[in-house]
Structure 1
């Protein structure tokens, strides 16, 4: 007798794919099986069923920590810190930023994402070595690596950071961290500056060569693969951007004299993690797969083909309205990033869309990761999603889609050429519009905004940015070779503020999916402030509560998406009673709610009575049809943005 690892399965006949298909088709009652297939906007099928057959088609997988590192960079995760908990610090005042940083490190954060800006408008106001010393006072860089966030002044800040590390007597050969150089990404977001890119790439290569000799564990370049995601792009576009950017830097570094292994070691990749847990897991697995192939093509040894990934919770999924719901979205993003094998994870403050981070918002973000580590035990295994039919198959399909798009980019001259030509932005814009349509049509949802809008939302505290840097009298860091820039920074030279370039092509613009819906809510609030009353609609019901309740609830929720209030739906004795109740409200919009049979029998008569009572427009909650006097139908697949805009027009909210 042999022991079985699956005793609960004993005695049951194995069901193969063909038997499942027969049962599924029977349940569909003649509808095609394709009806169950859900696809990403890249056209990648997400099911409905993944089986061992799908998994076997991918071929054997390496062990965790083995080249080409499809399952992560390490064979066994640190049981106490399975991934780096990276927190964003961007308080404008250097002293406040230092206090926030020390508090975060004391609370469990292990890495710092430091956002710097000489003006203090978009980050910590640092211009000189002295000011950087204020920010980093008390921070043990050998225990808590600091990763500078990409910016136009990143080369200067990189020199400042390395001068600080050296002057502190730290062993640069063992220090970890990142310099945040990202000239291609920054110019893609700026929409100009192509004439300066060759020089910027040269300086970036100089920085990579310097670090290869003195600080080999410092990541020089941050490839912001999450940029197309935040602009509304798809998973395949994010993967292609990562490969295109990585290939561009590899060419520049190798041309400058670095070995392929040194060039690859200088790169860190940032990917977005959003509330779609399974897609996030599959995307990170796909990213390692495609990058290993790119690195191999450049001649990297097997040991250098691994991709260092920092997963950052998505900004585009966050909402300014009912911002507390962002906690749920961030939790899903953190779960996907951790299970997907990210080396470091940043969870954005949940109040980011409404203002600067508060200590509470930061604490919630870091504690989420600690819970994932210590309570959900996601770090116990090196690759928790490994072997999953779903994640392995979907990851492989995403990798193929991303690789195909990357090849298109290469054929067009490389990543930056596609950006200059506007091709990539146009492709991302198509995807963005398709995503917004999915939310508007109810196929995707943002709870609290596109579904179940909360018109009595509880306010969320947000920080303020009001710091003004003191006047400074110091020479500036002029353009020069990177090694000389470090010396100038050590001598007290100040960051030279760079003007934004003239826009010569459409930039990649970050967005949030909730923005068009929140614009409707903002217009409703402005109307209420102006008139003293929120815009209101009336629910004209037919029959008993059980007959109209479902559609009345739907209509109330659909109108709330645009900030239009409704009173509690109630029963009326007859049509005249309903019309009288409507007249008493003074509303201009009425939505008839009831059953299909009730619509056939009474909707026309009720519509006429409502018109006589002063209704400017009458809608029906239900499938589109033809009912005299009814101007519009709202239902599960009607376009909620168009519904809201129409309601505003009827109620005088918009001109």
Structure 2
């Protein structure tokens, strides 16, 4: 009888070690003369990413790093529910209670007005003694905490109010309220009462480096301002909690969360606190609204999948996945079920809750973590040198504006791809919403990366739909002051040098970009906000003294009326004869 098979011992000692230089030599040979440096790329944060990383990268960081410590290996699946200001939250509470029976492990309520939120009904529908519940509020912190204190069970979860990030005008009074909240929560060891809204920056275009620096500066403001004779800095630090938005840049988002924990330990050490204090930091990560789109919206399901994975692998303690249609649909069971099941799948089928720090030891991720931490700390020190927050609020907002504008520009010229929006469009897309109503809605989120491109696409679709129905109407599309420079630069690239100079001269600072289109021609025009406001009132038949009028992004009228109105209101124009609206829009977006 043949001997049974025996496994050979596994050993790599017979293989020669390969150095970084040897890998680079092999890459150069495979590229057949192409410069290997062409494979590197520069991040929005400004540092260079190599095409490969080697074990020597860890040696440059000081050797093999230890896994990052956090309070627990288990992370929670915590959906988010919005409660409008005039509602008591019964509908959101019912949906949250039902979700607990279907895979959710908590709930996060974003309250438009905390005073109206019905905590008694919350207690009736949800087992608060064992349920992780977060609250994000814009005011009324003390009233909400009083009602929570009156409930039979102490709360578990977190509270985010963060007047420093929200630039509250009555900051001194609100800091007193936050200070009292920390005192109130002394009896609630499982409730973090001092949540920082780092997601505010992430959802408005901040880079990973900026998010780290802004989070540290905000935390430093509270650690410096809140302690008193009866409130120690250690108590303030223990109450801190972070709400972070996670975007689709997969590895960078993993590294961002890991860098945040490293920097947190450094920050608390500066305040004389031990390493154990930093290990108590909890992070609530939500998928970013900044990266959500209304065009080809099912791609949002793919984005939130990578974002949720980044959150888990980066070390978040709780994860909230947004619904794919939240930009244009009211809450619905189908979308909420998909969002709720995504973290369930990551845990139950991908087993992403079994390891403390899954990314530890990755040459690439460890290098990114170190780079982000260094850059984030440097920017934090720059903010502190200007007085820290809130004194340096102007500097922080300018940094945020610059970063967001850079992303708008990259999307407009196609350098940054957004699938389904500026590349790989769905040619047969049928909108599952009313584009005209969406464009005019006050709830249409204009802070997102793809908003300018969506306005162009949706307004153009409306215009072509009308033209196909043979209605002799013209469309006037407001492109918005915040995208003005991007659109102008993209358009100028397509024109002769002489025309560029002429157009620049006729384009004063602070004007709005406007596209006036008809079946025969398309005209790029510029107007002051006042000019466009008067024009919009005239076209919309709204009295000049109506105080609540908001100019829509798209104006329509018959061609003669529109031509006369634009002439009367003195809009400066640059006409492109012989081009369809679609062709001009393509030029504006730098595609031709």
TM-score (norm. length: structure 1): 0.67
* DSSP 3-state at the match of 1:115: strand
Pairing of 1:477-556 with structure 2 (within 5 A): 511-532=447-468
Instruction: Give the counterpart of 1:202 among 156, 167, 176.
Output: 176
Instruction: Give the counterpart of 1:641 among 571, 582, 589.
Output: 589
Higher relative contact order (CA 8 A, sep 6+): 1
Pairing of 1:145-160 with structure 2 (within 5 A): 145-160=132-147
Describe the shift of the 1:61–1:18 C-alpha distance in structure 2 as closer, same or farther (beyond 3 A).
Answer: closer
Q: Is the 8 A contact 2:164 2:390 kept in 1?
A: yes
* DSSP 3-state at the match of 1:416: coil
Aligned to 1:413: 387
Matched residues in 2 for 1:181 and 1:158: separation? 12
Aligned to 2:18: 15
Unaligned segments of structure 2, at least 5 residues:
1-6, 435-444, 472-518, 523-576
Matched residues in 2 for 1:224 and 1:355: separation? 25
Aligned to 1:177: 157
Aligned to 1:402: 376
| 1:89 matches 2:62 | no
Matched residues in 2 for 1:5 and 1:159: separation? 65
Instruction: Give the counterpart of 2:343 among 353, 363, 369.
Output: 369
Q: CA deviation at 1:344?
A: 0.6
Matched residues in 2 for 1:261 and 1:510: separation? 39
Aligned to 1:219: 192
Q: Is the 8 A contact 1:271 1:312 kept in 2?
A: yes
Which stretch of the first structure deviates more once superposed, 13-22 or 241-250? 13-22
| 1:426 matches 2:398 | yes
Aligned to 1:51: 54
| 1:457 matches 2:429 | yes
Pairing of 1:228-627 with structure 2 (within 5 A): 228-255=201-228, 257-306=230-279, 307-419=281-393, 422-460=394-432, 511-532=447-468, 616-617=578-579
Which stretch of the first structure deviates more once superposed, 24-33 or 106-115? 24-33
Matched residues in 2 for 1:117 and 1:98: separation? 14
Aligned to 2:102: 107
Residues 51-79 of structure 1, C-alpha deviations (whole Å, 9 max, x = no match): 11111222356654xxxxx34334xx2xx
- RMSD of equivalent CA atoms: 3.1
Q: CA deviation at 1:150?
A: 3.1
Matched residues in 2 for 1:154 and 1:528: separation? 49
Q: Is the 8 A contact 1:449 1:518 kept in 2?
A: yes
Q: Is the 8 A contact 1:227 1:510 kept in 2?
A: no
* DSSP 3-state at the match of 1:311: strand
Q: CA deviation at 1:207?
A: 1.1
Aligned to 2:116: 127
* DSSP 3-state at the match of 1:22: helix
Matched residues in 2 for 1:73 and 1:179: separation? 18
Describe the shift of the 1:344–1:531 C-alpha distance in structure 2 as closer, same or farther (beyond 3 A).
Answer: same
Q: Is the 8 A contact 1:158 1:179 kept in 2?
A: no
Which stretch of the first structure deviates more once superposed, 519-528 or 309-318? 519-528
Describe the shift of the 1:448–1:347 C-alpha distance in structure 2 as closer, same or farther (beyond 3 A).
Answer: same
* DSSP 3-state at the match of 1:272: strand
* DSSP 3-state at the match of 2:48: coil
TM-score (norm. length: structure 2): 0.74
Q: Is the 8 A contact 2:115 2:143 kept in 1?
A: no
Matched residues in 1 for 2:259 and 2:425: separation? 35
Q: CA deviation at 1:286?
A: 0.5
Matched residues in 1 for 2:184 and 2:121: separation? 26
Aligned to 2:573: none
Describe the shift of the 1:256–1:104 C-alpha distance in structure 2 as closer, same or farther (beyond 3 A).
Answer: farther
| 1:40 matches 2:43 | yes
Aligned to 1:597: none
Matched residues in 2 for 1:632 and 1:461: separation? 26
* DSSP 3-state at the match of 2:289: coil
Describe the shift of the 1:6–1:446 C-alpha distance in structure 2 as closer, same or farther (beyond 3 A).
Answer: farther
Which stretch of the first structure deviates more once superposed, 234-243 or 15-24? 15-24
Matched residues in 2 for 1:23 and 1:514: separation? 40
Aligned to 1:580: none
Q: Is the 8 A contact 2:94 2:125 kept in 1?
A: no
* DSSP 3-state at the match of 2:79: strand
Matched residues in 2 for 1:296 and 1:358: separation? 46
Matched residues in 1 for 2:171 and 2:63: separation? 41
Unaligned segments of structure 1, at least 5 residues:
65-69, 119-124, 463-508, 536-585, 590-614, 620-630, 645-655
Aligned to 2:70: 72
Q: CA deviation at 1:138?
A: 2.3
Q: Is the 8 A contact 1:202 1:252 kept in 2?
A: no
Residues 430-458 of structure 1, C-alpha deviations (whole Å, 9 max, x = no match): 11122222223333211111111124325
Describe the shift of the 1:283–1:6 C-alpha distance in structure 2 as closer, same or farther (beyond 3 A).
Answer: farther
Aligned residue-pair number: 472
Matched residues in 2 for 1:4 and 1:353: separation? 57
Matched residues in 1 for 2:301 and 2:9: separation? 38
Q: Is the 8 A contact 1:351 1:460 kept in 2?
A: no
* DSSP 3-state at the match of 1:186: coil
Aligned to 1:562: none
Describe the shift of the 1:632–1:352 C-alpha distance in structure 2 as closer, same or farther (beyond 3 A).
Answer: closer
Which stretch of the first structure deviates more once superposed, 90-99 or 384-393? 90-99
